[in-house]
Chains A and B, each alone.
Chain A
Amino acid sequence: MNETVLSLKQRFALSRFIHGEKPVKGALTLNQRRIFILPTRQGGGFIVLILLLLLIALTYNNNLIYLLAFMLASVFFITILHTYQSLAGLVIKPLQTQAAFAGEKAGFGFNIQNPSDQARFDIQLKLETETLLDIPPHHHEKVLLFKSANKRGVLQAGTLTVSSCYPLGLFRAWSPLRFKLEALVYPAPAAVFSAFPESEGFEGENGQSKKGGDDFYGLQQYQPGDPIRQIHWKSYAKGQGLFSKHYGGNAVADLWLDYAQTLGHDVEQRLSHLCRWLIEAEKAGLRYGLILPNQKIPCRSGPEHQRACLEALALF
């Protein structure tokens, strides 16, 4: 799966050892092509130990010390196979991603499956954060790793490094993997909250105070997207069904968050403001819509809607 034939030059390209091959979409199986092994610092120490033993054996002409040194050398050698084995055959599949605001960390989900009969120990997965796990035979584990999102837009997962030093820590086997896995990065919300813009039909009044008005209009059948705080819990408790309280002026309470009305010098600042507004509006339980130069999202409310708006900002 997901295998292409590599030319010799590609095969020995340095980037393959560090960054991995071209990103792929589906699951990847770790095999000899993707697993690399080098001795660790402890492995180097082990070599020094073997040399020291050989020196002792030579000076004292002691065959048993020779034998011990050779045995440790063979152990060293065999460990290459064992370390390789600790990664070989694992199947890594990309899962969903978690969007983040710029400056925070976006999450990337992976599923790591051990299809073999042997348990795998000490598997380290590293993106920017890392995690260690043991995987029993025929099991799979889900991990969520994070990567700093510095820029608004689409964040590539980059190189996921799966590695293991099991069993003796003398060698480290690693496999750099790249998936076509991307997380959205929303603009960072502006630190300063500027007042909501005035939109048509808002009649110069501040949305904040308008919303707070007691102009109770009546109950309506609950519709998905209605703010939770407007749910008429009393009737729900009586078993009459779910109703939302609707306030007077609801029809005009639609808040249009317009790109053109934001403060700021450049696109990013404006988007930051819009982002802050979106968050505040959702918090306040308002119905709001988004107007971008290339897109218009009609007024609604609720987490789904918020996400749609944020995505629009991220991809703008």
Chain B
Amino acid sequence: MLIALGLITLPHSQHLPLPLFLFFVVLWTWRFIAIWKPEWLPGKITVFLLMLAAIGLLYSQHQGVLGRAGGTSLFVVALGLKLLEIRGTRDIYLIVFLGFIVAATEFLYQQNIVMAIYIVLVCIFLLATLITINGLHAKISPTLKKAGIIVLQAMPIAAIIFVLFPRIEAPHFKWLDAEKNQVTGLSDTLEPGAISELGLSPELVFRVKFDGDIPPPDERYWRGPVFTYTDGKRWRESPNRFFKRYMDTPRFKGKAYHYTLLMEPQNKPWVFALEMPAHFEAPLQRNSFYQLITTKDPTQRAEYKITSYTHFNTGYLTKTELKDTLQLPGKPSERIVKLVKQLGGFDLKPEQFIANLFNYFRQENFFYTLMPKKMENKPIETFLFERRYGFCSHYATAFVYLMRVADIPARVIGGYQGGELNEAGNFLEVRQANAHAWAEVWLHDKGWSRFDPTTAIAPERVEQTLDIEQQIATRTLTIVTPEVLHQSMDWLKQAKQVLGSVDYSWQRWIINYNRTSQQGIFKHLGIKDLKTIIYWLLVLVGTVTLILARFILKNKAQPVDPAVKLYRQFCQKIPDVTLNPGEAPYRFAARCRQAHPKQAETIDRIIQLFVKIRYYPNSPKETLEQLKKQVDHFSCT
């Protein structure tokens, strides 16, 4: 039991305040030692003092016992204290119950599948503890087996209740608000010059499951914040987010992509839709930059159904947009004006100028790197004329800056690009390392159009799948072609994808199961009100119980010994003499002999054979055959 309790508390070490966790460990160790040295157990006074110490600790760490962390600590400490005074079975029950609660609080911190399996195993241990107190046997493996069987049998019913139990939107208690998870993500400012090393993390940002085709890699742009305002170094979002555009929808063309987006917890309410989102449902909203924003708490995992078109025309330009997207921090330097002039920025059509600029990036000595040197002073000029090593943000900001100098409305878009296809689950996984920045230019007949200057310098970055692991390991951009990717799908990768797929389903169906998904299922089943829910619950649970009852309660039909069968046949063959219940074979034989003296010899032989088979173990098989022959041939007439 102690081991089980230790196992329960172990994962809490990650988030409990250290002093509290150590306190528990000390109490636990104390109790463990006391198994061999019971006299070391503390007396009443010591326990009382320890309790005071515990209360003190709780208050010093949490200023109270409400809320997630405080409550968890309370239960852990209570468990530790209770361990020291086990007197009767009641105390053991209390401890086991506390153990269950501590196990449950674990889910407040971690909800992955591994943790769930872990907790189930620990629960089996706890139930085994209960079995040990109730059975007189103390052997571990049969009790564990029994507990495992019980849990296994409980699972189907649990699943049914899980699906059908009505979910109520939880009242929001302010004091119970979970502390903000530390989630990394895109920042709301962009300052490429200040970064010397791009943080690459394989952390998942969202997963996308398409209802039909998956867009090709070079169209997988997941739109995030739009950076319009710049002071020359840093780029920020425009404060005007809901101007006239807000109500407009672009004209969409081409193929529609329907997909489900499962966002991992974020600290910003941004939802990264495929450019351009056309249809979406509440709680999503679209701001004037065509960025989707959720009105719900982004720190909770959430699922959205969105339809996007990769070809679109946003049409006219509003005044606010014009003002915002031509904004420059003071006059551009001569070098820059010269460059723009050289590339035809002031006389050629915007498209031509952009093409020239792309060529410029391609032909001059520009390089893509994830480890650029810091460019703190005049970052754009330094990048364009001196360093020429940079990543997507450098290229995008420089590009937009040059556009604005040429009086072309342009802005920087942040978001994610690409995503790895999980073949096991057929969905895209987009990770932090897929973060990207590109540019958007307003063109007369096309509206806002995407231009990704990074493609000029590292087209693979966009067109093919990013090998994130390689990239993180070597800090260089590693691109694999699809064919190579396919070949390199060794078992490790495959296993990873299968795991990823399992995790996706886990998140989608278990963690994220909520009122909405429940109502979807209810609609399917034709459930409308509470009454029907209860009806369904009763019927389903009842059915499963019946099946289980049959399974648990069936008295395994005792295999009838073939010898006994033959013996009964024989008994029926004798007229006038019926076998009394519980009558010994020899006694029966004696009565038969009296009734049928002629057959006495045969009867004796049969009875002897039967007794031999039945009561002497390891009698040879031939004896049974002999008996069969004798019984078959036997007749009283």
A residues contacting B by CB (< 8 A) are: 42, 45-46, 49, 52-53, 56-75, 77-79, 81-82, 84-85, 88-89, 116-117, 121-122, 132-134, 165-170
**Min CB gap A197→B, angstroms:** 50
One of B158-166, B219-227, B441-449 contacting the partner = B158-166
Inter-chain contacts of B510 with A (CB < 8 A):
63-64, 67
Given A46-B97, A49-B97, 17 other A-B residues pairs in contact with their CB atoms under 8 A:
A45-B93, A52-B101, A57-B104, A60-B108, A61-B514, A64-B119, A64-B510, A65-B104, A66-B165, A72-B100, A74-B156, A75-B150, A81-B552, A88-B555, A166-B131, A169-B130, A169-B134
Which residues from A are CB-within-8-Å of B147? 167
User: Is the pair B158, A168 in contact by a Cβ cutoff of 8 Å?
Assistant: no
Question: B572 near A: Cβ within 8 Å?
Answer: no
**Which of chain B's residues have a CB closer than 8 A to the CB of A58?**
168, 170
Residues of A within 8 A of B101 (CB): 49, 52-53, 56
Cβ B153 vs Cβ A169 within 8 A: no
Identity of the chain A residue whose Cβ is nearest the Cβ of B115 in the assembled complex: A64
**How far apart are the CA atoms of A167 and B155 in the complex, in Å?**
18
Decide yes or no whether B256 CB sits under 8 A from chain A.
no
Q: A88 touching B553 by the CB < 8 A rule?
A: yes
What 1/0 mask marks residues of chain B from 502 to 546 whose CB sits below 8 Å from any chain A CB? 000000001111100000000000000000000000000100010
Tell me if B150 and A79 are in contact (CB < 8 A): yes
Contacts of A79 in B (CB 8 A): 150
B97 touching A121, Cβ below 8 Å: no
- Are A78 and B134 interface neighbours, CB within 8 A? no
Asked if A81 and B553 sit within 8 Å, CB to CB, the answer is: yes
User: B480-511, CB under 8 A of A: which get 1 and which 0?
Assistant: 00000000000000000000000000000011
Chain B residues numbered 113-130 whose CB sits less than 8 Å from any CB in chain A: 115-116, 119-120, 123, 127, 130
Residues of chain B from 289 to 308 with CB closer than 8 A to chain A in the complex: 300
Tell me whether A74 and B93 are in contact in the complex, defined as CB-CB below 8 angstroms, given that A49-B100, A61-B170, A134-B135 are known contacts.
Answer: no
Task: Select one of B120, B123, B170 contacting A59, CB under 8 A.
Answer: B170
Taking CB atoms, residues of chain A closer than 8 Å to B513 are: 63
A133: chain B residues within 8 A (beta carbon)? 136
Q: What are 22 A-B pairs with beta-carbon distances under 8 A?
A: A45-B94, A45-B97, A49-B101, A61-B514, A62-B107, A63-B510, A64-B116, A65-B108, A68-B100, A70-B161, A73-B157, A74-B155, A74-B158, A77-B154, A78-B150, A78-B153, A81-B552, A81-B553, A116-B556, A121-B134, A122-B135, A169-B134
B33 at the interface (CB under 8 A from A): no
- Whether B176 is near chain A, meaning CB under 8 Å from some CB there, is yes
Q: What residues on B are CB-neighbors of A72 within 8 Å?
A: 100, 123, 154
With A60-B178, A62-B107, A64-B111: A169-B150 Cβ-Cβ less than 8 Å: no
Residue from A52, A59, A75, A169 in contact with B93 in the complex, judged by beta carbons closer than 8 Å: A169
Known: A49-B97, A59-B176. A68 touches B162 (CB 8 A): no
- Measured between alpha carbons, how far is A132 from B135 in the docked complex, in Å? 10
Contact partner of A53 (CB less than 8 A), chosen from B104, B548, B555, is B104
Q: Residue B549 at the A interface, CB < 8 A?
A: yes
CB distance from B159 to the nearest CB of A (A): 8
Question: How far is B105's CA from A75's CA once the two chains are assembled, in angstroms?
Answer: 19
CA distance A180 to B61 in the complex (A): 68
Tell me which of A42, A62, A134, A169 contacts B108 (CB under 8 A).
Answer: A62
Complex interface: chain A residues within 8 A of B103 (CB): 68
A68 partner, pick from B104, B134, B511, beta carbons under 8 A: B104
Cβ A53 vs Cβ B100 within 8 A: yes
Within 8 A of A (CB), among B237-265: none
User: Does A89 contact B555, Cβ atoms closer than 8 Å?
Assistant: yes
A163 CB to nearest B CB, Å: 12
| B117 → chain A closest CB, angstroms | 11
Verify if B598 is at the interface (C-beta below 8 Å from A): no
Q: Which residue of A lies closest to B136 (CB)?
A: A134
B558 contacts which chain A residues (CB < 8 A)?
117
Q: Which of A52, A56, A57, A68 contacts B123 (CB 8 A)?
A: A68
Complex CA distance for A165 and B153, rounded to whole angstroms: 19
Residues of A within 8 A of B156 (CB): 74
Q: Chain A nearest CB: distance from B407 CB in Å?
A: 52
Asked whether A65 lies within 8 Å of B135 as measured between CB atoms, the reply is: no
Question: A67 touching B158 by the CB < 8 A rule?
Answer: yes
CA of A63 to CA of B510, assembled, Å = 7
User: Does any Cβ of A come within 8 Å of B78's Cβ?
Assistant: no
Nearest chain A residue, comparing its CB with the CB of B133: A169
Check A66–B157 contact: CB distance below 8 A. no
Asked whether A78 and B548 contact (CB < 8 A) given A49-B97, A59-B173, the answer is yes
Q: Please state if A75 and B151 are interface contacts (CB–CB under 8 Å).
A: yes
Contact of A60 with B100 in the complex, beta carbons under 8 Å? no
A175 to chain B, nearest CB (A): 15
Q: Is the CB of A68 within 8 A of B119?
A: yes
- Complex: A60 Cα to B157 Cα, angstroms: 23
Inter-subunit contact B123/A71 (CB<8 Å) = yes
Q: Are B151 and A71 in contact (CB under 8 A)?
A: yes
The reply to whether B158 and A73 contact each other, CB–CB distance below 8 Å, is yes
The 5 closest A-B pairs by CB, nearest first: A74-B154, A74-B157, A121-B135, A64-B107, A71-B158
Residues of B within 8 A of A59 (CB): 170-171, 173, 176
Question: Is residue B137 contacting chain A, with contact meaning CB distance below 8 A?
Answer: yes
A210 to B153, CA, bound (A): 80
Decide: A70 and B553 in contact? CB cutoff 8 A.
Answer: no
Are A78 and B136 closer than 8 Å at their CB atoms?
no
- A118-B555 Cα distance, complex, nearest whole Å: 9
Is the pair A81, B104 in contact by a Cβ cutoff of 8 Å?
no
Asked if B146 is at the interface (CB within 8 A of a chain A CB), the reply is yes
Partner of A81, one of B165, B548, B556: B548
How far does the alpha carbon of A133 sit from the alpha carbon of B136 in the complex, in Å? 8
Kindly identify which residue among A56, A78, A167 contacts B130, using a CB–CB cutoff of 8 Å: A167
Inter-chain CA distance A115–B100, complex, in Å, is: 37
Contact partners of B374 in chain A: CB under 8 A: none
- Is there an interface contact between B131 and A56, defined as CB atoms closer than 8 Å? no
- Min CB distance B181 to A, Å, is 13
B89 touches A169 (CB 8 A): yes
Closest residue on chain B to residue A58 by CB atoms: B170
Alpha-carbon separation in the docked complex, A298 to B556 (Å) = 58
Contact of B134 among A63, A85, A167 (CB under 8 A): A167
In the bound complex, what is the Cα–Cα distance between A45 and B105 (angstroms)?
19
Task: State A85–B554 Cα separation when bound (angstroms).
Answer: 9
Once A116-B555, A134-B136 are accepted as A-B contacts, the answer to whether A71 and B155 lie under 8 Å apart by CB is yes
- Interface core residue of B107, B116, B151 (most chain A CB under 10 Å): B107
B68 in the interface (beta carbon within 8 A): yes
Measured CA separation A88–B555 after assembly (Å): 9
A56: chain B residues within 8 A (beta carbon): 101, 104-105, 108
Minimum Cβ distance to chain A for residue B153 (Å): 5
A78 to B158, CA, bound (A): 11
Within 8 A of A (CB), among B258-317: 300
| B552 x A63 contact (CB < 8 A) | no
Decide: B511 and A63 in contact? CB cutoff 8 A.
yes
Q: Determine whether the beta carbon of A77 is less than 8 Å from that of B130.
A: no
The one of A45, A85, A117 in contact with B556, judged by C-beta atoms closer than 8 angstroms, is A117
Q: Which residues in A have their C-beta under 8 angstroms from that of B68?
A: 60
In contact, A82 and B552 (Cβ under 8 angstroms): yes
The residues of A that contact B116 with a CB separation of less than 8 Å are 64, 67
